[in-house]
Amino acid sequence: MKVLVPVKRAIDYNVKISVKSDGSGVDQANVKMSMNPFDEIAIEEATKLKEAGKVTEIVAVTIGPDKAQDTIRTAMAIGADRGILVKTDAPTDIGGVEPLAVAKALKAITEKENPDFIIMGKQSIDDDSNQTGQMLAALLNWGQGTFASELELGDGTATVTREIDGGLETLELKLPAIITTDLRLNEPRYVKLPDIMKAKKKQLDTMTPEDLGVDFTPRLSVVKIAEPAERVGGGKVTNIDELIDKLKNEAKVI
């Protein structure tokens, strides 16, 4: 059983981002980049399934510049057998390669690779679109199980427990299908140095959007990006009467 795992290079979640002075985007100069955390969960889950003997091959794919090879190598160090880089110099965050274009590229790769299912992060932490998995399922006409917190593979089926507003929902999907991961699905492993060294020897193929017949030209334009207003600090009151007075006259909530 082959599984395709899309992964994305994004600003590391520990980095405090800043907006460019002209409001055109997020400043990425000299900023640490790493694999999108939700995608890291996806590659971890695929690796666990391979270790359990339910998956035979894991193919990691990413879209981005040459530097995105590091993201593929990280996926290989975790457990992917080989990788595919769709090379583009276009930004892959807000205002760059849009979710629909990513879904179309993944559709073309899926038709070449013919995986049994695709597992991917529910969203990326840079644009938080939460669209690519659903769009890809629609383009392929596959079933989908989004926001997965549990996953069990059966004979030609996948049982997905997904997190919804009202609690948990369990779906049984016929494979092939799209599964998007939520935070509680697993905890990604710490990548050891020997695995990093082995990853450097694994196969990594490079292709372009033109090879896939996909146009990455944006259909939308970002008018402006701005940081949220700074929160005003709270104050202290000495008694309940002062609190009521502030709620009534300053906050005007009573």
Closest CA to 206 of 85, 64, 112, 76: 85
Check residue 95 and give its pLDDT. Answer: 67
Tokens of 177: 């299908």
Residues of the chain predicted below pLDDT 50? none
Q: How many CA atoms lie within 13 A of 103 on its CB side?
A: 19
The model's pLDDT over 76-88, given as tens digits with 9 standing for 90+, comes to 999 999 999 999 9
- Confidence (pLDDT) at 190: 92
E strands present in 157-241: 157-164, 167-174, 177-181, 204-207
pLDDT tens per residue, range 27-82: 877 888 899 999 999 999 999 999 999 999 999 999 999 999 999 999 999 999 99
Domain ranges of the chain: 2-249
Contact, 109 vs 212, CB < 8 A? yes
Contact 114, 93 (CB under 8 A): no
Q: Architecture of 2-249 per CATH?
A: 3-Layer(aba) Sandwich (3.40)
Q: Are 151 and 160 in contact (CB under 8 A)?
A: yes
SS3 35: strand
Helical residues (DSSP H) of the chain, grouped into ranges: 37-51, 69-78, 99-113, 132-140, 193-199, 209-212, 240-249
* Angle at which helices 69-78 and 37-51 cross, to 10°: 40
